[in-house]
Amino acid sequence: MSNPAGAAFRRMTARSRDETHRASTPLELFFDLCFVVAVAQAGARLVHALAAGHPGNGVVGYLLVFFGIWWAWMNFSWFASAYDTDDVLYRITTLVQITGVLIFAAGVPRAFDDNDWTITVIGYSVMRLALASQWLRAAHGETGDARGCALRYAFGVTVCQFGWIGLLFLPDGAKVWAFLGLIVVELSVPLFAERRHQTPWHPQHIAERYGLFTIIVLGESIAAATVAVQSALDEHEAVAELLPIAGGGLLIVFAAWWIYFAVPIEEHLVSNREAIPWGYGHYIVFVSAAAIGAGLEVAVEQSVGKAEISVRAASAAVTVPTAVLFFTVWLLHSRHYKRGLAQQLVLSVASLLVLACTFGGESAVLLAGVVSALTVTVGVVLARREVAPQV
């Protein structure tokens, strides 16, 4: 007789890839929700940097911080897809990882403003070492190649944490380069660990997990833009200036949601050969989706005179991440389900048109929203023609 959910301890062995009705658990949803705090902190610092006219430092800091958020989330999600036992020990270890997320989020302002990564590294190490303990537990429950894979994961994750701790003692000028080197090492751990054995992640479960996190970052964009508009209205009552930004922003986010969920990507996730590039590529999807919200905040601040940048720069803060998001979604999975040249070109052309909206002056965000809505419309029409019965 199997242990009930929430049992104190059960042997951690791989779950079946053919398991039916596999869905995200309440613990996974709670885990995702706590990541919103870190995403919000990164977005807030990006807004501050862009509005102050420091796009270089702001974008670099944002990309580096977001790597820690994304990589910790991604590693937990794939592990859970293969080895979620839902016993007390598993739940407690996951809650420890959530604690690490919150520590990481608390350190984001210092990392951005003072190049002080101490708190973020501590939080990141809490998350990652807790995951390493999960891999050791999986190794204890497995045999053969599966055991070796779990041990290699535990070893790789632990070694990387020594590297991150060592980064704290480097001169400020060397930290960015060391950071980039450690990113390469981190990205190599799954390739090293799974060279002989593929962990039995569940395609439908993974597709759902990524879809849920996409919804979270898009929701964060809506929340950030709403707060910005509310604050501007309270201080300036600039309705005429804010309505085009708010309307365009909503159209962009709605279109992003529609485009992302237009295809059943789980059918494409057959093995690591397809899944690893897809999973890694979502760093760009997540980082650009969250950046749209930051860009909308910057556009709002510029429209009411609170940002020290031009209209074009504020517009680019919205149009660039939108264009990157559209193109990346096409590259990662939409293209696998498109039939004919017209369908393949829709998102690529839309990305270029959204970028062109940067030069639309004060109407740039609204124009980008209209282009986004038209992109969805054209995609729907082409898809309907493809499935229409032939007479």
What pLDDT shows up at residue 387?
54
- The residues, ordered by sequence, that sit 6+ positions from 337 with a Cβ below 8 Å of its Cβ are 262, 263, 264
pLDDT at 382: 86
Rounded Cα distance between 207 and 212, Å, is 9
Q: What is the DSSP string of 272-335?
A: HHHHHHHHHHHHHHHHHHHHHHHHHHHHHHHHTT-SSS-HHHHHHHHHHHHHHHHHHHHHHTGG
| Structure-token match 């996974």, residue found | 28
Q: What is the pLDDT of residue 157?
A: 96
Task: Give exposure, 243-273, as e/b (b: 16+ Cβ within 10 Å).
Answer: ebbbebbbbbbbbbbbbbebbebbebbeebe
DSSP one-letter code for 2? P
Distance, in Å, from the CA atom of 256 to the CA atom of 223, rounded to the nearest integer, reads: 15
Amino acid at 258: W
Question: Tell me, what's the pLDDT at 233?
Answer: 73
The two structure tokens encoding residue 114 = 């003072």
| Terminal-residue alpha carbon distance, the chain | 58
d(CA 10, CA 237): 59
Specify the pLDDT at position 6.
Answer: 55
Q: Give the burial string for 81-109 (b: 16+ CB within 10 Å, else e).
A: bbbbbbbebbbeebeebbebbebbbbbbb
Between CA 72 and CA 30, with CA 263 as vertex, the angle to 5 degrees is 35
Say if CB 87 and CB 143 are below 8 A apart.
Answer: no
Amino acid present at 277 = P
Consecutive H or E run containing 363: none
How many CB atoms neighbour CB 166 within 10 A? Answer: 12
Please, what are the domains in the chain? 26-193 (no CATH), 203-386 (1.20.1410)
Residue 390 CA, distance from chain mean position: 41
* Rounded mean pLDDT for each run of 10 residues along the chain, 391 residues in total: 58 86 91 91 92 90 94 95 93 96 94 90 96 96 93 96 93 87 96 92 94 92 78 71 87 94 86 91 96 93 87 95 96 82 89 96 95 94 67 37
